[in-house]
Amino acid sequence: MSLISQSTERTPIKVLSDATQQVEPDDQQNGLDLDNTPMVMPIVQQDIKAPVVSEKQLARTPVKLPPIDWTPRSKSKALLLTFFLGYFGVHEFYLGKTNLGIAHLLMGTIGTMFFLGIINFIWVIVEFIGIATAKRGTKWHQDGYGIELED
Report whether pLDDT(29) > 60: no
Pairing of strands 3-7, 12-22: antiparallel
Q: Are residues 69 and 110 in the same domain?
A: yes
- Tell me which of 13-22, 28-37, 45-54, 122-131 is least confident: 13-22
- Is 148 domain-assigned? no
CA distance 43 to 58: 37
Mean pLDDT of the chain: 77
Q: Are residues 68 and 42 in the same domain?
A: no
Report whether pLDDT(49) > 70: no
- Is 146 domain-assigned? no
Sheet strands side by side (includes 3-7): 3-7, 12-22, 40-46
The pTM for the full model equals 0.57
- Is 129 domain-assigned? yes
Q: For position 111, what pLDDT does the model report?
A: 86
Domain that holds residue 92: 63-141
Residue-by-residue DSSP string for 32-51: B-TTSSB-EEEEEEE---PP
CA distance 126 to 118: 13
Of 43, 44, 46, 42, the C-alpha closest to 8 is: 46
CA distance 63 to 127: 23
- Is 13 domain-assigned? yes
Task: Give mean pLDDT, residues 63-85.
Answer: 89
Question: In total, how many domains does the chain have?
Answer: 2
Q: Are residues 69 and 42 in the same domain?
A: no
Beta bridge partners of 42: 20
Of 45, 36, 32, 1, the C-alpha closest to 19 is: 1
Q: Are residues 42 and 67 in the same domain?
A: no
